[in-house]
Every structure is written in C-alpha cells, then in structure tokens.
C-alpha cells in the first residue's frame, strides 16, 4: 500500500496570498481534496492523508513531521503564487535527483497539461529552492505553485471551480504515474452482495448501446440543444464525466452549455485528446471505442 501525503498550504490565521477576492488557503484546500478523492476513487493500493481538511493552521515543520511519522512514500504541497508573474512552476529541494526529480517531472507534466486545456499557460519550469516542507521531509517531496492569484488572467481561471477540480485531479494523476498505481479503487469491497468491482473510466464497458451523433458540437454555437446533445451527455456520464454531478439527472438536459463543454474537456484531457471542450470526430471515436465494444 502506497502512502501519499497531500499538504494544502497555509490555513487558519495564515491566508497565504490574497487578491481578486480570493485567498490562497481556500483555493489550495479545494485542490487537495479533489486530488485525494481522485486518487482514492480511481486507483487501488493507495492511502491518502491531508495535512488539513479544514481551515486550520500548522507550522511548516509540523507539516513535515506529520508526514515523516506516518511514513509517507511521497509529499506534495500545493500552493498558489503571487508577485506579479504568471504561470505554473514546481519546486524540489536543491541538489535532489532520482525519485524526487521523477516525482517533480510527473507532477509538472500532468498539471501543466490539465491547465493548458483552459488556454495558454506559461511554463515557469521545474525549479529548486530551499523550502522547509521539501527540506524537512524524509521522502520525495515537491511543492507546486499553481498560477498567480494577483494576475487578472490567472485569477479568472482560479475562480473557475472546474479549473480547480482539473488541477487537483491532475496532481492525482501525476502522483499515480510516479507510483505506478493501477486502476481501481483503494477502498475495500463491500461485504454484502458481491458485485463486480468498479472499473476506471477508460475501462468501463456497458451492455447498453450508445448512439453517438456525428458532426461538431460546442458551447455558444447556435442550436446546440436537443436529442443529439443529450446523447453526448449520456455517453460522457456513462464514463463518469458528468455535466453536473448531483444535479437533476446529473446535468443531462440536452443543452450544450458550459458544464457539458467542461465534461467533454475533462474526458478529452484524460484520454489524450485535444482538450478544447468541442465534441467532434476524434472525441466521438474515443467515446464509441469505450462504450460500444
């Protein structure tokens, strides 16, 4: 069982960077929760602990100590930047190579790819810095800086709940790649009626035959509503890419709005397609290959 420690920067009396009506401590807490949920629900053989799951404060050394005492296999600290710049960057302790560099590379690639689905993002690079949480931890440790809260363009993305979810889940995929985790669920199977274990999104099959429309569908195009759009939404939802999970019918309403575009974009991102939120021939082919085998 691999043990992952996720650290949401700041908290409590320490808001971190603040600008454009947002606080860093709130943004990063959302991201780590998304990362934890994604790891636990999409992979097996992994345990995840958080430094904080609420708005509380811990000293930097305490964060490292908790992970050290637990015997974590890796430590990832998630932050949001400030200072007038723009873009995404990651940090490891100066001079570290090997597994730490590999973890940094996996995280950097996964998160940057997810961010670029939302437009042009500056890649500020894989960096080294003498930061307490990467210095005092006894396992491979990386700190990520996810855009600049005081930059208008970056702030607009950070305000997007879909973006925060995509970034958090991308951290999870980077961690999974580094650890070599396989798909499935880390949660124990129920002891009652035996059912087939849920499969990861890319492996799910259904006995239902899905009708997938041809053509191109995208948000803000005229007449992007009707039966064909509902078919797209149902296909995405069958693979757990809901337009709006928890809403009535999980957001399946026959309207190609921003939430449907986001569901398509998340599907594209996970399956190596151009993540533009536009349903076209390549997206149709991939959906068809997963649902109608």
Instruction: For residue 7, give every residue at least 6 positions away whose Cβ sits within 8 Å of its Cβ, in sequence order, or none.
Output: 32, 50, 51, 63, 67, 75, 76, 77, 78, 133
pLDDT at 203 over 50: no
> What is the mean predicted confidence (pLDDT) over 170-188?
80
Q: Which of 89, 136, 145, 244 does the annotation list as catalytic? A: 145
Q: Between these two residues, 183 and 282, which has the higher pLDDT value?
A: 282
Q: In what order do the strands lie in the sheet with 123-128?
A: 46-50, 2-8, 74-81, 141-148, 88-92, 123-128
Q: In CATH, what number is assigned to the domain containing residue 250?
A: 1.10.101.10
Residue 29's CATH number: 3.40.630.40
Does the annotation mark 145 as catalytic? yes
- Are residue 238 and residue 147 in the same domain, yes or no? no
Total tally of structural domains belonging to the chain: 2
- The reply to whether the predicted model has a pTM over 0.85 is no
Residue 198: inside a domain: no
pLDDT tops 80 at residue 222: no
* 68: three-class secondary structure by DSSP: helix
Dist. CA 91–CA 141, nearest whole Å = 9
pLDDT at 223: 60
Print the domain residue range for 259.
203-291
pLDDT, position 187: 38
Q: Look at residue 98 in the predicted model and tell me its pLDDT.
A: 96
The contacts of residue 37 (CB under 8 Å, 6+ apart) are: none
pLDDT digits (tens, 9 = 90+) for 93-118: 999 999 999 999 999 999 999 999 99
**Do both 140 and 223 map to the same domain?**
no
Mean pLDDT of 72-96: 97
Asked which of 114, 145, 179 is the last residue of a domain, the reply is 179
């Amino acid at each position: 069982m691999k043990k992952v420690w996720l650290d949401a920067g700041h908290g409590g009396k320490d808001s971190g960077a603040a600008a454009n009506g947002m606080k860093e401590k709130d943004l990063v807490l959302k991201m780590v929760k998304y990362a934890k949920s994604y790891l636990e629900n999409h992979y097996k053989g992994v345990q995840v602990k958080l430094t904080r799951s609420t708005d509380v404060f811990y000293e930097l050394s305490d964060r490292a100590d908790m992970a050290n005492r637990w015997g974590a296999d890796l430590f990832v600290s998630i932050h949001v930047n400030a200072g007038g710049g723009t873009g995404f960057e990651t940090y490891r302790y100066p001079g570290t190579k090997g597994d730490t560099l590999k973890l940094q590379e996996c995280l950097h690639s996964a998160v940057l790819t997810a961010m670029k689905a939302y437009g042009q993002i500056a890649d500020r690079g894989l960096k080294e810095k003498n930061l307490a949480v990467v210095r005092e931890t006894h396992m491979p440790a990386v700190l990520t800086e996810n855009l600049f809260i005081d930059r208008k363009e970056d702030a607009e993305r950070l305000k997007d709940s879909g973006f925060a979810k995509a970034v958090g889940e991308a951290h999870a995929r980077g961690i999974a790649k580094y650890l070599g985790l396989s798909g499935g669920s880390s949660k124990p199977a129920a002891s009652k009626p035996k059912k087939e274990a849920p499969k990861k999104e890319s492996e799910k099959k259904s006995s239902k035959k899905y009708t997938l429309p041809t053509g191109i569908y995208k948000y803000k195009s005229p007449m992007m509503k009707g039966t064909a759009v509902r078919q797209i939404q149902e296909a995405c939802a069958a693979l757990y890419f809901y337009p709006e999970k928890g809403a009535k019918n999980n957001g399946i309403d026959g309207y190609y709005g921003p939430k449907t575009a986001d569901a398509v974009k998340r599907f594209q991102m996970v399956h190596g397609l151009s993540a533009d939120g536009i349903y076209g021939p390549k997206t149709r082919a991939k959906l068809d290959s997963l649902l109608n085998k």
